[in-house]
């Protein structure tokens, strides 16, 4: 069977789909890392306690560490939101690339099926012609 005129487009769309898939995987990994970072920040905060007694210096130091940890949590939340947004965009890009690829793959299959049908019709005509020629020879 010959090549389809859509074959180069299908290959191009397949490369675009693979690229979009890799970007989606990277976005999923970044989202997972951001989620882990936020969970670790919350875990660290849960272990921090203000001293029940001691000097004001210790109290201020622990309070500053807790404040810094809260800032770290806010940063991790921002990172998580950004990663979620990036993952959403990559998922949409992947869907669009998949649709494009499937569209051209379908067109390629339609063209190949048409070509196959034409070859079958041509073969049927040749068989009919051979049958007719053989019958005429036998009748002579």
User: Which CATH number is 41's domain given?
Assistant: 1.10.287
Domain housing 50: 7-114
Taking the C-alpha atoms of residue 3 and residue 51, their distance in angstroms, rounded to an integer, is 77
Please report whether residue 72 resides in a domain. Answer: yes
Q: Is the pLDDT score of 139 beyond 70?
A: no
Please report whether residue 75 resides in a domain. Answer: yes
pTM over 0.75? The answer is no
Taking the C-alpha atoms of residue 102 and residue 96, their distance in angstroms, rounded to an integer, is 10
What mean pLDDT is predicted for residues 22-48?
94
Q: What is the DSSP letter of 53?
A: S
Q: 31-40, 45-54, 78-87 — which is least confidently predicted?
A: 45-54
- pLDDT the model gives residue 78: 96
Q: Give the rounded distance of the alpha carbon of 113 from its chain centre.
A: 29
Domain count, the chain: 1
Q: Is the pLDDT score of 69 beyond 70?
A: yes
- pLDDT the model gives residue 140: 60
Please report whether residue 124 resides in a domain. Answer: no
- pLDDT the model gives residue 92: 97
Please report whether residue 46 resides in a domain. Answer: yes
Both tokens of 14, joined, read 């397949």
Would you put residue 48 in left (φ > 0), alpha (ψ -120 to 50) or beta? beta
Both tokens of 66, joined, read 């807790």
Please report whether residue 125 resides in a domain. Answer: no
What mean pLDDT is predicted for residues 77-106?
96
Would you put residue 51 in left (φ > 0), alpha (ψ -120 to 50) or beta? beta
Please report whether residue 95 resides in a domain. Answer: yes
Please report whether residue 65 resides in a domain. Answer: yes
Closest CA to 11 of 104, 92, 96: 104
Please report whether residue 36 resides in a domain. Answer: yes
């Amino acid at each position: 069977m010959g090549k389809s005129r859509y074959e180069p487009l299908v290959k191009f769309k397949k490369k675009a789909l693979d690229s979009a898939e890799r970007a989606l995987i990277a976005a999923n990994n970044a989202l997972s890392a951001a989620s882990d970072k936020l969970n670790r920040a919350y875990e660290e905060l849960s272990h921090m306690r203000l001293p029940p007694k001691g000097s004001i210096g210790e109290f201020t130091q622990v309070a500053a560490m807790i404040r810094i940890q809260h800032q770290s949590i806010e940063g991790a939340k921002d990172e998580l939101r950004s990663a979620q947004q990036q993952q959403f965009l990559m998922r949409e890009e992947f869907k669009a690339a998949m649709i494009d690829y499937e569209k051209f793959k379908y067109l390629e299959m339609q063209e190949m099926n048409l070509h196959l049908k034409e070859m079958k019709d041509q073969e049927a005509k040749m068989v009919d012609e051979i049958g007719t020629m053989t019958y005429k020879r036998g009748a002579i």
